[in-house]
Amino acid sequence: MNVKSDDERKSKVLKIRLNDREFAKLKQYTEESGLRSMSQYIYNSILATPIIELTDEELAPDKARFKEIADSINSIAIQVNQTGNIYPEDMQEIRQGIDEISARLAEYQSKLERFAVTPQTFRAIVDKAHEDVRK
């Protein structure tokens, strides 16, 4: 027998604001999921969403490199504003910086996509959550 304390029995309320379009989408997704309520759908969606934590220490090298690139582009912009001239090598440096940033951001996006929850995984998580609630 599973006996819960008073604290475990108390429900907490979470309020969210949705515009009409967002609410309609939530209603549609709830109906498609087969769950009885929006609350259940939201709860199960939260369970199905992985929490990804990146520390400043992990991001520090990229942040430092992005700052170097931004500083370089800024100094080129200052020079262009002062002289009215932009040189091919400056344009090349800007392109290389943007390409480097884009490539690094694509790597981050690829890593995040590995955490994506498929509809099948979501259904399995919902089913598991239902079993846990019934216990």
Q: Which residue has the tokens 């009215």?
A: 84
**114-121 long-range contacts, CB within 8 A, separation 24+:** 115/50, 115/52, 117/48, 117/49, 117/50, 121/48
Q: What are phi and psi for residue 87, nearest 5 degrees?
A: -105, 155
Tokens of 5: 């304390």
Q: Give the Cα separation of 32 and 37 in Å (integer).
A: 11
Per-residue pLDDT of the chain (135 residues; tens, 9 = 90+): 555 566 666 778 888 899 999 999 888 888 887 778 888 888 877 776 667 777 889 889 999 999 999 999 999 999 999 999 999 999 999 999 999 999 999 998 887 777 666 666 666 766 776 666 555
Closest CA to 122 of 44, 50, 38, 52: 44
124 contacts 114 by C-beta, under 8 angstroms: no
Domain range annotation of the chain: 6-49+117-134, 56-113
